[in-house]
Every structure is written in structure tokens, then in C-alpha cells.
Structure 1
Amino acid sequence: MESHVHVQRPKLIAGILMLGSFIGLFGETALNMALTNIMDDLAISAGTAQWLTTGYLLVLATLVPLSAYLVRWFTTRQLIVSALLISSLGALLAALAPNFAVLLLGRLIQAIGTGIFLPLMFSVVLMIFPIQKRGSVMGIVGLVITAGPALGPTLSGLIIQVSSWHYIFVVMIALNVLLLLGSLKVENVSIISKPTIDVASLLLSTLAFGGIIFSLATLAETPFANPFVWGPLVVGVVALLLFVLRQLKMTHPMIDLRVFKYTMFSLGTLLMFATLFVILSVSILIPIYLKSVLAYSSIAAGLLMLPANFLNILMAPIVGSSFDRVGARIYTRAGFAFMTLAALLFIMILSATTPVWQVIAALCMLFLGVSMAIMPAQTHAMNQLPPDLYADGSAAMNTLTQVAGAAGTAIAITLFTAGQKNYIAEFGAVNPAAFLASGTNFAFYAVLVAAIVGLVGSLFVRNTKLAS
């Protein structure tokens, strides 16, 4: 059995899917650098503003499970064009937003486009390239996944300095239009079988991931004892259990959970979860810290984050091209070791008077770890699956990584708020920079826990043979 589908322009298809996914993932964190501006312009709190990121991720987490159906119902070109049009509509609404409600609605519509694009990129890239080329190709995919969210604050910082946060969405629309022109030459690579859509599974997955993420996001400004927090969490957990039980009993499940019978796939998904949790947590905390505590402008804060992003871009092809020789075991262990050390450094150094070079050095160490861990974990996991399970594996992995991103954002803001309250209760609110720094410092404990979970998990990675 061949490991891939033959197409005339594999690089064109991969390029369009990667750039479209990059724009969508850039959208995840693009507003992080603008949060303080948006909070001032629209008179909202940090807890409310974080919904612009958490809400985006919530839609992704609830929509991505549907992707296993979509690739069997519509052609590759139909999905790409639809995703670009939906993303552009959402970006247009957000660009013209007169208030927070319209801005949030635009963000949620944008996320629908990304929710179609992201899992499509995974499954199609795995289908159109042979196994021996996957290391280098997935190295670029890993770069897209990390560079999108990581570069979001940097690029948006430049845009904000030149104009306003509204133009972040104008740039996205322009890029989507360019991709639409290229998408007209995309060939279909999926098998259209039009399976019956199980409405019950769709509702359960929406309630499960939506409930859990909504609960975590609400926790930022509401105590856990409030039914508005624990109620959705209980509903989400129960719905998730029912969803899993239903998938296991169905002849044609919405997501074939047999993918988790492959041990290395399950472990790789856990490592991806930990990595995305770290990336999304840091990408919302550091811009707030640089702007609110160290008083840098948007453009300066964006440029200060550039060395870490550059290191990530530099390392991704190196890791990708050497993956087949080095293997996932060494790379994931080294990657999570760097992430753990970086999280410890942040906890040790972050204060109202920290020299900025220390922050940048810790950030570079963290992204060095991310670049070493994410592609090997992802590629090693997907390589364990037979081709007929690629779409299901992609849907399962992407759903959980988007949940990780949403959880990382929500928990980071929750701890950020809690850290501030603890400082104010002890020392008062005379020095805003001090209590904001204390909040940022406290939030990094969540990053440390996620990095340690990944480090422990990496100890169990073994370099196994590829599935056929």
C-alpha cells in the first residue's frame, strides 16, 4: 500500500494550506499585543478582553472534531475556499467593529475558517508526501503551528504602532484574498464518501469542549464556587464521557478513537497538548508584562519578542531535516528540558524591575525548547497511524491542542488576576507595576507545570517503526 496520494502540485497545495493555517494561528494571538489598547478603547477588563483569544480557541475546539466529516463530504478545494471566505467575513466584521460584542462576533466567525483549515492541513500534508519526506515537511508544519501564535504579538505590535488594532484584520483580509487566487488550482486529495453525520455526537462534542473551556475562561473573574463556573465544567465533563462512550459503540464514529490505541500517538498528543498550553500562555503573558510592567510601546514590545521567534524559525527546518536521524525521543526530552528551565527562570526573575535582556534570554530558551519538541512529537505521533486513520488522528490531535491553547490562555489570565489580588491584599495597590509583575510571575507556575508534564511524558517516548 502506497504511503501517499500522487498530485501534480504537492508543494502548491501544502503552501496554501500552511499559509492559510499560519494566518489563522496568527489570529489566535494577534490581539494579545493590542489587549491593553482594546481595553482602553472599549472600556473593558483583562478578564473580558481575554475572551477575544479564549472565544477564538473555544470555537476551534468545538469545530475541529467535525473536520473528520468535512474531508469526506467536500473536496479539498471547496473546503479551502469556504474557509478563506468565512475567515475574511469574520475579519471584516472585526475590522469595522464599533464595540466589543461585534469585535467578539467577528473573532468567532474567523475561528470557524481556521477550524476548517488547520486539521485539513495536517491530513492533506500526510496524504500527499511520502513517509521519507515527512520529517522535513512536518518541520515546516511545526514552524507554522508555533510561528503563527508566537509571531502574532510581534507583527500586531508593528501594525498597532503604525495605525490601530483594526488594521490587524485588514492585513488578514488581504492575505486571504491572495490565497483565494492560488486555491483555484488545488486538486482534491480526499475520498468523498459522504458518511451520515451523527448529530448526537456533534452536540456532545460541542457541549464537552465548549463547557470545559467556558468554565476555565470564566474563572478569570468569577470564583469557582459560582455555578456559572462549575456548572459548565460539570456539563462539559459529563458530555465528554458520553461522547467517548458513543464513539466507541458506533460503527462509523464521528472521530475514530481507535487512534488512541496507538500508544505513541496518545503520548505524542499529550506532548502537543503541553506545548500548545505553554505557547498560548506565554504569548498572552509576555506582551502584557512588557507593555504594562516595563512600559514598552507596542512596537518595542513586539520587536523584543522577535529574537525568540527568529530562533524558532531558524530551528524548525534544522529539527525537521534531522528528525529521521535523531528521532523523537532525544528531541522531545531536550525540548521539554529547555521549556522547564525557561519557566523556572521566568518565575525567578520576573518583577517590576527585571532587566529586559533577562526576559528575552528566558524567552529564547523557551522557544528553543518549543522548536525541538513540537514537530518531533507531532510527526512521531501521526506516523504511528495507518493512512485510513489520518483524518481521525488529525481531528483528535487538533481538537485537544486547541483545548490546550484555550486552557492555557484562560488559566494564565486567571492566575495573572489572582496573583495581582494576592499582592494587593498584602502590600496595597500603590505600585501598579509591582502588582502586575506579581500577577505575571504567579501565572508562570501554570507554564512550569505544563512543561514538567511534557518532560515526564517525553521520558516514555520510544522510536518505533512507522505504520503502514
Structure 2
Amino acid sequence: MDVNTISKKERGVLLILMVGVFLGFLNQTLMNTALPQVMADFKISTALGQWMTNGYMLVNGIMVPLTAFLIQRLKTRTLYLSALLVFAIGTLISGFAPTYFTLILGRMVQAAGAGIFGPLMNVVVMNIFAANRRGEAMGIIGLALNFAPTIGPTLSGFIVSNHSWRWLFWGIAPFIFLDLILAFFLLKNIGTQKFLRFNFLGVLLSSVGLGSLLYGFSNAGDGQWTSPNVWGFLVVGLLVTTLFVYQQTHAKNPLLNFNVFKYHNFTITTIINVVLMCALYGGALMLPLYMQTVRGESALISGLVLLPGALITAILSPISGKWYDQFGARRLAPIGLGIVVLGTIILANLQLNSPLWLPALGQLIRQLGLVMVTMPIQTEAFNSLPINMVPDGSAVYTTIRQVAASFGTAALITAYGLTSASVKAGHTQVSADLNGIHVAFWIATGLVILALLLTSLLRNRQDFVDDRHVHGETE
């Protein structure tokens, strides 16, 4: 089916799902700049405060493998309404939370609903659009996936500078309920419902394995890798996740179909995504640290420095999708990654007295490159699969991205902390922190260069179409 023949029903489905995706991804970063205010209100430590974001990411990551089953077992309308209702309940719990632990509970309930939005959207797009127009559709979706987390700190900085942090929840609640009402009356089902058997052991193993990995990486954020709360959970996570993969590859009714890795371009784009997420999520924390810890700027100023990059993401996301349809990821991704390298090098050379336009420029260039990479390689990954395997591919791709992002964040913050501690003697704390930020950005630069080199392994489109035929699969 060509995009030009998309019916009003299907366009309505995309719009309704896109609102949920935007709000879900917005919540991943919305609380970052609100942390000091929340800590003051509830009188908690920074380590405990980080669980506003870590708890959200943890539950979100655990939910994603389950979505492959839910997307195929439940109708589109039933699944989305349920997820949106859970997301709304979590938002209200968070907004009215009388204690910090109630706030964390609300964030985790939010994440349980939001974890379904992205994979469901991917599957709907792949079912509605023909292969040669999916880039354009995914580019539009990228407006929500990429713009929401980048605008989150700016929006949060503005709100917490003028109002209570609770408005971060109260402000989005009306939009959630509006989308819920629209979905109830207008959302139709896409795709074919399959009556799959529930793999309870798979859910248990994936929850324990991925949960332990994500929890371990979250605890490693302060650099204490020798702590049992870090290495202990990482060892358990690796062992149980390995057992999960073994169980899934031998089960009659697997939760996830790991045969997606038989398809060359899916495997390569997933590896590129892993390397890129390690660089990006850790690097994303460095710029606010530079602005607020090193320079002593306000959360609002820090958010405004990020704003140009967020805006370029919003403007170019739909355009990058059209570029993907025209040129493919094999030609587009290396250019984008080269631009990301340039932007990251600018950020790696920031000094205490650098003019404010310089970090803004570095972040803008970085986002310009990213918008040419992230959605195109994701679209390439799903395009390389037969349509019946897209739910599994989407869940696998998103799950691995979550783990890579958590690892990258922990690793770069550790590099930052160790460098800062090692140069502290004879230096001011500000100078030591600046050196740590430099090292973290240079590591991120190296990772992006590695991702750039990996793009040479991507095959042409006809090659991965032939790859599907080799495995007896057709679109």
C-alpha cells in the first residue's frame, strides 16, 4: 500500500499513537532538571533522587520484551487504550504524591504504560506503509521519538524555574486524557490478531535478567563498580539474560523470536545502535553538568542551550525520513555520524569561559547528525525483516537500546568521576569537573567513530530483500 493511498482511518491511528509516543518519551527526560527541587521538597539524597529517572527506565526496559507478545495477542485499540490508561494513572499518582516513594511508584506505573507506545507504533507503521515509503512515515514518528526527549530538559527547566515540579505531571495529564478520549472513539485496529500462548517462564527470565542489568548499571552511575549492588546485579543479569535467550531459542512459543538476527542488516543496525546509544545517553548528561556544575548556570539557561538542537530535530526529522527513502541508510548514516563526530569534538573542547553560543552550536550540530542516523537505521532494521517478524524485531531492537543506553550512561559518568577525582589534587573542583567532562566527550567521540566504521558493513536494499528470500520469507 502506498502512503498516498492511506485512508483517513489509518492517518487517525498514526496521529493518536504519535501523541502517546511523544508524551511517553518526553517523560524519560522531563524530571532531570527538576531533581534539585524534588530533593529539597522530600529531603532526599542525589543517589535516591536519581530513581525518578532510573525507576522509569528500569520498568520501561522490562516491559518492552513483553510488547512483542501483547502486540500480536491483543487488538491495537485494546492494547493502546490499556497502556494509555496505565500511563494516565501513573501520571496522577506522581503529580499528587505525598511522599517520595509514592512519586517513584507513580513513575514506574507511568513507565509500564509508556513502554508499549514505541514498539506498537513501529508495528503499525510497518503494516500501513509500503517498504519504499516507510522512511517518510518513520521520520514523522521521529518527531516524537527524537524531539520529545531533547525538548524535555528545556521544558522542565522553564516549568521548575517558575512553578512546582508537580506541574510537570499536572501539565501533561490533560493531554493524556484527551488522547485517551480520541483513542476511545476514533482508534481502529491495524494488523491481524494472533491467539498466541503466553510464555510465563520467558517473561519471568526477561524481567529478572533485564531488570538486574538495568538496576546494576543504574547503581554504577556513581562509579562504584566494585560494589555488590553493581557487579552482583550485573552478574545475575548476564546469567539470567543468557538463560532467557537459550530458553527462547528452544521454546515452542517464544516470547521473542531471536531469528531476527538471521537477517544481516537487522544485526548490523542493532550493533550500530548499541554503540551509538552508549555514546549519546552518557554524553547527553555531560552538557547539563558542564552548564550547571562547572559554569553555575541555572536550569533554565541550561535548557535554553539545548533548545536549538531540539528545534533542528523537530524540523529535520520528517525530512530525514524522505532522505532515507531516497538514499537508504548505507549512504545517509555515514554522513550523519560524521556530523555527530564534529559536534561532539566541539563539546569535548569547551572551556570555563567559552561563550554560551559554543555549547549550543556543538549540541545543534550533534543533533543535526543524529536526526540523519537514528530513525533511518531503525527503519532499515525493520525493513530488513519480513512483516510477521517486525513485532519481535521492534521489541529486540528497543530492549537492546535500553540496556546500551544504561551502560553508556554509567560508563561515561564513571569516566567523568574518575577523571575528576584523579586531577583534583592541585586543581579547583570546577577545573577537575571540566577535565572529567572533556574525557567523557572524547570517549563518546571514539564510540561515534566506531559506529561510523560499522556502517560500511550495511548491505544494499536489494541484498537484504534477497536475504529474506534465502530464509523463505517475503514481505
TM-score, normalised relative to structure 2: 0.91
> Match of 1:453?
450
Moved more, 323-332 or 384-393: 323-332
Moved more, 355-364 or 268-277: 268-277
Q: How many residues align?
A: 463
Give the distance between the partners of 1:313 and 1:9, measured in 2 at CA. Answer: 25
- Aligned partner of 1:145 in structure 2 is 145
Instruction: Write out aligned runs for 1:29-48 (5 A).
Output: 29-48=29-48
**Equivalent in the alignment of 2:471:** none
Give the unaligned 5+ runs of structure 2: 469-474
1:178 and 2:178 aligned: yes
The percentage of aligned residue pairs carrying the same residue is: 32
Relative to structure 1, is the Cα distance of residues 8 and 172 closer, same or farther in structure 2, using a 3 angstrom cutoff?
same
CA distance in 2, matches of 1:36, 1:290: 15
Shift of 1:6: 7.7
Asked if structure 1 preserves the Cα contact closer than 8 Å seen for 2:328 and 2:461, the reply is no
1:88-119 deviations in Å (ceiling 9; x for gaps): 11112221234432222211111111111111
Map residues 125-140 of structure 1 onto 2, 5 A cutoff: 125-140=125-140
- What's 1:464 paired with? 461
Give the corresponding residue for 1:106: 106
Q: Which residue of 2 aligns with 1:82?
A: 82
SS at match of 1:372: coil
| CA distance in 1 between partners of 2:41 and 2:447 (Å) | 34
User: What is the Cα deviation at residue 133 of structure 1?
Assistant: 2.2
- Deviation (angstroms), 1:432: 4.4
What is the CA distance between 1:66 and its match in structure 2?
0.3
Give the C-alpha shift of residue 213 in structure 1. 1.5
Q: Deviations over 1:211-248 (max 9, x none)?
A: 11111111233632222211111111111111111111
1:63 aligns with 2:60: no
Q: Give secondary structure in 1 for the equivalent of 2:457.
A: coil
Q: Find the aligned partners of 2:47 and 2:439 in 1 and give their Cα distance.
A: 16
Q: Alpha carbons of 1:9 and 1:125: their partners in 2 closer, same or farther (altered >3 Å)? A: same
Question: In the alignment, what sits opposite 1:441?
Answer: 438
Other-structure match for 2:389? 389
Q: How does 1:328-407 map to 2 (within 5 A)?
A: 328-349=329-350, 351-407=351-407
Relative to 1, partners in 2 of residues 1:286 and 1:45: Cα closer, same or farther, differing over 3 Å?
A: farther
Deviation at 1:276, TM superposition (A): 3.4
Does structure 1 retain, via aligned residues, the 8 Å contact 2:223–2:417?
A: no
- The whole-number CA distance in structure 2 between the counterparts of 1:85 and 1:289 is 38
Q: Is the 8 A contact 1:50 1:413 kept in 2?
A: no
Closer, same or farther: CA 276–147 of 1 in aligned 2, 3 Å? farther
Contact 2:64 2:395 in 1 (8 A): yes
Structure 1 residues 399 and 285: alpha-carbon distance in aligned structure 2, compared to 1, 3 A threshold: same
Q: 4+ residue runs of structure 1 moved beyond 4 angstroms?
A: 2-8
- How large is the RMSD of aligned CA atoms in angstroms? 2.2
State the distance in 2 between where 1:117 and 1:101 align: 25
- 1:268-315, CA deviations, whole angstroms, 9 ceiling, x for partnerless residues? 122233333344323333223222322322222222211111111222
Counterpart of 1:269 in structure 2: which amino acid? T
Deviates more, 1:281-290 or 1:54-63: 281-290
SS of alignment partner, residue 47 of structure 1: helix
Question: Structure 1 pair 368/334, CA: closer, same or farther in 2 (3 Å)?
Answer: same
Q: Which residue of 2 aligns with 1:322?
A: 323
**Residue equivalent to 2:245:** 244
Name the residue aligned to 1:427.
426
Contact 2:6 2:128 in 1 (8 A): yes
Shift of 1:371: 0.5
What letter matches 2:301 in structure 1?
Answer: A
Shift in CA distance, 53/43, structure 1 to aligned 2, threshold 3 Å? same
- 2:134–2:325: 8 Å Cα contact kept in structure 1? no
- Partner of 1:459, secondary structure, is helix
Is 2:197 aligned against 1:200?
Answer: no
- Tell me which residue corresponds to 2:472: none
The more displaced of 284-293 and 176-185 is 284-293
Tell me how far apart the structure 2 counterparts of residues 107 and 416 of structure 1 sit (CA, whole Å). Answer: 28
Amino acid at match of 2:177: V
CA distance in 2, matches of 1:46, 1:22: 27
Counterpart residue identity of residue 445, structure 2: L
Q: Tell me if the contact between 1:278 and 1:451 (Cα under 8 Å) persists in the aligned partners.
A: yes
Determine whether 1:271 maps to 2:272: yes
Amino acid in the other structure paired with 1:406: S
Q: Is the 8 A contact 2:62 2:210 kept in 1?
A: yes
Q: What SS does structure 1 have at the residue aligned with 2:287?
A: helix
Distance in 2 (CA, whole Å) between partners of 1:384 and 1:8 is: 28
Question: In 1, Cα distance between the equivalents of 2:223 and 2:436?
Answer: 16
- Residues 292, 299 of structure 2: 8 Å contact kept: yes
Listed one character per residue, the Cα deviations across residues 318-358 of structure 1 (whole Å, up to 9, x for unaligned) are 21112222221121111112222322332222x43332222
Structure 1 pair 442/40, CA: closer, same or farther in 2 (3 Å)?
farther
Q: Could you tell me how far 1:131 is from its partner in structure 2?
A: 2.2
The 2-side partners of 1:213 and 1:166 are apart by 27
Deviations 1:419-440 (A, max 9, x none): 333343x236xx4433443343
SS at match of 2:274: helix
Paired with 1:98 and 1:284, the residues of 2 have a C-alpha distance of 29
Structure 1: give runs of 5+ residues left out of the alignment: none
User: In structure 1, what residue type is equivalent to 2:415?
Assistant: L
Please tell me the residue identity of whatever aligns with 2:430: A
- Asked if 2 retains the 8 angstrom alpha-carbon contact of 1:32 and 1:283, the reply is no
Task: Give the equivalent residue in structure 1 for 2:214.
Answer: 213
Conservation of the 8 A alpha-carbon contact between 2:147 and 2:311: no
Mean Cα deviation higher: 167-176 or 439-448: 439-448
What is the TM-score when the length of structure 1 is the normalising length?
0.92
